[in-house]
Structure 1
Amino acid sequence: MHGLDFNEIPINVDNDNDDSHDKDNNVEGENTDKMMDDLEKDFIECPEIFQRLVDDSKKPLYPGCSKFTRLSAVLKLYNLKAANGWSDKSFTALVQLLSEMLPKDAEYMVWHHEERNKDGKLRHVADASQWRTIDRTIPDFGGEPRNLRLGLCTDGINSFGTLSTQHSSWPVMLIIYNLPPWLTTKNKYILLTLLISGPKQPCNDIDVYLAPLLEDLKLLWNVGVRVFDAASGSHFQMHAMLYCTINDFPAYGNLYVYRPKTDKGCPVCGDNTESEWLENCGKYVYPGSHRFLHENHHYRKRKKAFYGKTEHRPAPLFLSGKEYHKRVMNITTEFGKPYRPPPDRVYHTKRSIFWGLPYWEHLSVRHYIDVMHVEKNVFDSIIGTLLNMPNKTKDGVKARYDMVADTIIQKHKSLAYY
């Protein structure tokens, strides 16, 4: 949101004084630090503008620009104006033209409010019911479209392109949902807030690393920060909230310390999770997913595809944020390795640090599974099985034994059912 505004830079230029300028227009070695010292006394009564000049002397003109800073670009333009005797009118026209040529991204921060197609279809995060609920229940926040709604993403990566058991890197990034969908995940708009590095993954101790970030998020929610909007040319108090987290399922288990590989591995279904243990493959599977379909869906009547019986059960009740919070609010969190959860805590083994955010329990959906992992894993499993690819196919000997055992079990269940 912080942009370059030539009108706020009080640099006096005398077109008649040729001695004060370099006639050869050679200003590459200009000492901006000396200029800042000379101007400091003029900004005692306007520290905000002076601080902007200091910041602009260190920031590139635009992301990726290594030759010009924001301040050096202004100085070069002013020197060019003075050396050639340009009028104020012509110089203003030039600056306006340059501002149209160079990226000015502040206007995209309200794209979701002013330019989004609002036809009831789900194309952007702002089309979700949770976004509308926030606007309705927290009007002080939702009424300002420039307030940020952030998504937190983290996962373990292989920094050097090779699998290693001696090193683990966990970047923690924030993405801005105010932006259009084609800009949300671009490199220049992704904020790398933390890089957790060590010999092992952080597991339960990830909250220790996230604590400073959570303090900043609380500050942005409660107090906010005063920023300059380059699109409207005005200042405003910007607030921000963590809208959701985005991870694959194992990383979800780290953030919320929920055990996803158990018989109750679904955090939405909870105790109503339907699961079966495969003795040969040594893992849980979760059948009965067609109970999430509409009550009149024709798949519910396909007996041959689903254990020889129709499905009449409704979908499990969805736990609200407040109900979920009641389950974990009294859990004592312990840090350090090795961490052994209390015996009475089979699924939720600690209270996640995210519950410390004042609005977290009011969110209906706090976590999203990233599309990339879902698509890739499903694609790999299907293609690997169809093409019988080594180390990729799911049609192995153990799977065949489990299918035979499951068929016998379901046959007895069907007889008992009828």
Structure 2
Amino acid sequence: MQHPSDGDAWKALDSFDPEFASEERNVRIGLATDGFTPFSMTAASYSCWPVFAIPYNLPPEDCMTDEFMFLSLIIPGKEHPGTNLNVMLEPLIEELKELWKGVEAYDSNMKQKFKLRAAYLWSIHDYLAYGIFAGWRVSGRLGCPICGKETDCFGSIRVGSYVTSIVIGVFFLWTTPSGSEHRSSGRTPLSRRNPLSVAPGFGETHNWTHKCGLWELPYMRALQLPHNIDVMHQERNMCEALFNTVMDFLDKTKDNFKARVDLGNICNRPTLMLRENGGKPRAEFALRPNEQKEVIKWMKDLKFLDGYGAGFRRSVNLKTMKINGLKSHDYHIMMERLIPVMFRGYINDEVWKAIAELSYFYRQLCVKEISKEMMRN
């Protein structure tokens, strides 16, 4: 697989409308959006949402490049648009309807006019924006838009939260463009089922919050992956959590006091149980202070080619033993190349192999070419 056209999602749309597929000049479009603060973080809060349209009828080397991403919409506002995002998308949805019917275009190569059609293929965003696009509340026990009520999540005795690692892992595989190869059960994902505007059972049998305007598109049911998570968002979050936990940074580790309380209620791990005086035994995967210094010093001395991973040296503070200001690309390099190296020899082999396999998974996910057999495995 080298191009979106190699995936099942592309072929499913072709099967839905063979006439659309027969014209090679017809365009498949992806939409990408996320909120950002155009001013400094210390200024007044402001959430601006650009929406980019990305045509995929291009060679692999041109797909997702700057010159072929088009700013189709800007949603300004002091606050997060929430479900109002669908209202703001209405002009764009109306254009997508018109493009599905076809518009007159000119082929400069063939020197002739023809009827150009275009179709929405999928959207790309972070997990929270996924909920807005899909019309699904992405929190609580039914937070996974794919699993819904068919989940193994269970409540935590401590705060009533939910253990979602398995669900999020399955959800991540299902929502990547090549993730359709993992669907062994054959069931239809919830994000492909037309939701009711008002349906009973909210929070018990479903988490539908609203009907997204994209359902007005006549081919919406044919889309296998209408919504996708941005890998860079997920990879950054995973890398940051993994690094802080193994480094045992008290203010950022996921192995905190509350997690140990849950551990005592759910798991049989006597060596990790909180002591009577409230002390927290050190986990096998947590580095000692002298080991932390060695890892931080190693990161400070790293040298890379310009543009590859130049952010590490300026982000590492040897005095405070902290790392601040890394960008998503830095975490990308860190997760796929550095994590297995920096922790080898400090933790036991079983934990290190699990971390190395996770790193390998992300490397395979981000390669330019991958076999379907690899995705199945």
1:286 matches 2:170: no
1:265 matches 2:147: no
Q: TM-score, normalised by structure 2?
A: 0.61
CA distance in 1, matches of 2:169, 2:83: 33
Rg larger in 1 or in 2? Answer: 1
1:331 matches 2:191: no
Counting matched residue pairs gives 255
2:48 counterpart SS class: strand
Match 1:372 to one of 198, 218, 232? 232
Contact 1:321 1:361 in 2 (8 A): no
CA distance in 2, matches of 1:286, 1:322: 19
Q: CA shift at 1:158, angstroms?
A: 1.7
Q: CA shift at 1:151, angstroms?
A: 0.5
CA distance in 1, matches of 2:201, 2:184: 27
Aligned to 1:319: 188
CA distance in 2, matches of 1:356, 1:214: 8
CA distance in 2, matches of 1:369, 1:273: 19
Aligned to 2:342: none
Alignment of 1:345-364 (within 5 A): 345-346=202-203, 347-364=207-224
AA paired with 1:269?
Answer: C
CA distance in 1, matches of 2:157, 2:43: 30
Task: Kindly provide the CA deviation profile for residues 271-323 of structure 1, in whole angstroms up to 9, marking residues without a partner as x.
Answer: 1022133355763222556996xxxxxxxxxxxxxxxxxxxxx9766325797
1:348 counterpart SS class: coil
Alignment of 1:402-413 (within 5 A): 402-407=262-267
1:189 matches 2:49: no
Aligned to 1:393: 253
Aligned to 1:228: 106
Alignment of 1:6-405 (within 5 A): 122-162=1-41, 166-222=45-101, 224-280=102-158, 283-286=161-164, 288=166, 318-319=187-188, 324-325=193-194, 328=195, 330-332=196-198, 344-346=201-203, 347-389=207-249, 391-405=251-265
CA distance in 1, matches of 2:55, 2:213: 21
1:272 counterpart SS class: coil
1:136 counterpart SS class: helix
1:208 counterpart SS class: helix
Q: CA shift at 1:250, angstroms?
A: 0.5
- Would the alpha carbon gap of residues 370 and 205 (structure 1) be closer, same or farther in structure 2, given more than 3 Å must change? same
Q: CA shift at 1:392, angstroms?
A: 3.2
Q: CA shift at 1:348, angstroms?
A: 0.1
Task: Kindly provide the CA deviation profile for residues 380-400 of structure 1, in whole angstroms up to 9, marking residues without a partner as x.
Answer: 111111122354321211112
CA distance in 2, matches of 1:230, 1:321: 42
Contact 1:226 1:235 in 2 (8 A): yes
- Would the alpha carbon gap of residues 274 and 175 (structure 1) be closer, same or farther in structure 2, given more than 3 Å must change? same
CA distance in 1, matches of 2:186, 2:87: 33
CA distance in 1, matches of 2:8, 2:228: 14
Unmatched tracts of structure 1, length 5 or more? 1-121, 293-313, 333-341, 410-418
CA distance in 1, matches of 2:58, 2:42: 35
- Would the alpha carbon gap of residues 269 and 290 (structure 1) be closer, same or farther in structure 2, given more than 3 Å must change? closer
CA distance in 2, matches of 1:381, 1:152: 28
- Would the alpha carbon gap of residues 124 and 168 (structure 1) be closer, same or farther in structure 2, given more than 3 Å must change? same
- Would the alpha carbon gap of residues 242 and 283 (structure 1) be closer, same or farther in structure 2, given more than 3 Å must change? same
Aligned to 2:332: none
Q: TM-score, normalised by structure 1?
A: 0.56
Contact 1:170 1:195 in 2 (8 A): yes
Same amino acid, percent of matched pairs: 33
Unmatched tracts of structure 2, length 5 or more? 171-182, 270-377
- Would the alpha carbon gap of residues 394 and 163 (structure 1) be closer, same or farther in structure 2, given more than 3 Å must change? farther
Contact 1:165 1:200 in 2 (8 A): no
Q: 4+ runs of 1 displaced by more than 4 Å?
A: 279-282, 287-292, 314-317, 320-323
- Would the alpha carbon gap of residues 288 and 209 (structure 1) be closer, same or farther in structure 2, given more than 3 Å must change? closer
- Would the alpha carbon gap of residues 345 and 233 (structure 1) be closer, same or farther in structure 2, given more than 3 Å must change? same
